[in-house]
Amino acid sequence: YILLEWVAIESDSSNVLKRPDLHHMMEKAAQKLRLMGGMVELVDIGQQELPDGQTLALPKVVTAQFGSDPNKRTVCIYGHVDVQPAKMDDGWATDPYNLTDINGNLYGRGASDNKAPVLAWIHAVEAYQALHMELPVNVKFIIEGMEETGSNGLEDMIVAQRDIFFSDVDYIIISDCGWLSRRPALTYGTRGNCYFFAEIEGPKQDLHSGVYGGTVIEPMTDLIGILDTLIDPNGKILIPGIREAVAPLSDEEWKMYQDIQFDLENYKNKIGVDQLMYNSKVDLLAHMWRYPTVSIHGIQGAFSDHGTKTVIPAKVVAKFSIRQVPNMDPAVVKKQVNVKNRTFLSLKSPNKLKVTMVIGAKPWLADTQDPVFEAGKAAIKRVFNVDPDLIREGATIPIARTFQDVTGKSIIMMPIGGFDDGLHSQNEKMSRYNYIEGTKYFIAYLHEVSLIKKTSV
């Protein structure tokens, strides 16, 4: 029932009009943890500056603590309760904000990304409480509301809390990703993300393409010229310097990918395509996880409705992103993209160009030999009776690398999302099986992690 209540809140962090819902969501998460007896704080992380210069209050970050026994290990669970946009018009079969159970799958925006996994951790603590069993470790939570837009404000808070909230934390756990197949997985790497807005402004208002076409230099034509210099249709990145920065694929890594069970046909069926960019498993996994890619997401201001409006849009904004990997750096990527000098100047256009990098999240990579991974394997074995896949994630958890760099703690990603959950897409879901067994797995993990000897840190 609580998942239904949480999904009903349209906590879309990318839509400024939904900010009150997001504040409400943070209050709701805090209230739940308070009712369980946690020591809860709602931490003010300041204001967000919008591209137009206006400011807006960021959603507060919820921290909570259950237990403070110095003789026990302390884990910190990170999660987020903001979501990506969703509307029926996008092609959802059910109302995205009304959690709907169909054949054992719970459909709703944010069900898998990341409300049910956050709740599964909460239920794990509740299970110990309900059984009147002492928690084997101290458990802390840090829950944010801006993950989907780059975790604005969280880095500063982590830096400020490094010697306070994080001082006694041994391990940070993130469950905000998915398995690769039906086999449970542990995740040891994520790609980073640099997200850009490229705005081109021309005439002072939209124009009739018949009346003015052929007389003005159209912003949209300039913009398409710019986008065409980012990536070719075969996936080759055209921005100089990007491919050269990528850490080479080692033999050991190649062997790891070889050993992963992954069916290309299933993958094609899942996403509904006849052909993929690569035909071999290793190539595909490598390009999903450890090579960069460029995606063009949309053009704001362009005519995109039904019908045949014959318009010359006056101002258009392209949205594109670059998923980056070790050894790339967002600050360097920002310079490399450089569409102004690389492309725009050669167009000799009188239109105005403005490029902004609105997200600059670094990639993250962990050492799978760390005892936290051994504890994860043992918990998976106990609940699912299989050995997990050790996988990377092509998407981004912006704060993962900050946790690593600022706190110096070990980080593990323990997904419970299914491979077909449809994150960010239509009909996102979380299966009842993954939600329930995932909760059992988290309960088992708290036990396993308590067994890690203090000396092995």
Ligand X SMILES: CC(C)C[C@H](N)C(=O)NCC(=O)O
Q: Which residues bind ligand X (CB under 6 A)?
A: 113-114, 147-148, 176-177, 190, 193, 393, 395-397, 423
- Which DSSP symbol is given to 89? G
Beta strands in 175-238 (DSSP E): 185-190, 192-201, 207-208
In the bound state with ligand X, the residue whose beta carbon lies nearer, of 97 and 344, is 97
What DSSP character marks residue 249?
P
Min dist. Cβ of residue 395 to ligand X (A): 3
Q: Does the active-site annotation cover 82? A: yes
Contacts of 75 (CB under 8 A, 6+ apart): 137, 138, 139, 140, 169, 170, 171, 172, 173, 446, 449
Q: Which is nearer to ligand X, 65 or 193 (CB)?
A: 193
Using Cβ positions, the residue closest to ligand X within the complex turns out to be 395
Strands 185-190 and 389-393: parallel
For the CB of residue 423, give the shortest distance to ligand X in the complex, in Å.
5
Written as six digits, the tokens of 153 are 């404000």
- Smallest separation (angstroms) from ligand X to the CB of 333: 15
What does the H/E/C string look like for 3-32?
Answer: HHHHHCCCCECCCHHHHHHHHHHHHHHHHH
Residue 212 or 419: which CB sits closer to ligand X? 419
Instruction: For residue 294, list its beta bridge partners.
Output: 322
Give the max Cα distance, the chain. Answer: 78
| Residue closer to ligand X (CB basis): 301 or 417 | 417
Choosing from 12, 82, 176, 428, which is the catalytic residue? 82
In this complex, which beta carbon is closest to ligand X, that of residue 368 or of residue 425?
A: 425
Q: How far is the CB of 202 from ligand X (least distance, A)?
A: 31
Q: Which is nearer to ligand X, 193 or 439 (CB)?
A: 193
Q: In whole angstroms, how close is the CB of 381 to ligand X at the nearest point?
A: 24
Using a 10 angstrom Cβ sphere, with 0-12 exposed, 13-18 middle and 19 or more buried, the burial of residue 387 is exposed
Active-site hit among 147, 222, 421, 428: 147
Minimum CB–partner distance for residue 260 and ligand X (Å): 17
Q: How far apart are CA 44 and CA 154, in angstroms?
A: 10
Q: 136-172 burial, b for 16+ CB within 10 Å, e for fewer?
A: bbbbbbbbbbbbbbbbbbbbebbeebeeebbeebbbb
41 catalytic per annotation:
no
List, in sequence order, every residue forming a beta bridge with 75; answer none if it has no partner.
139, 171
Residues serving a catalytic function are 82, 147
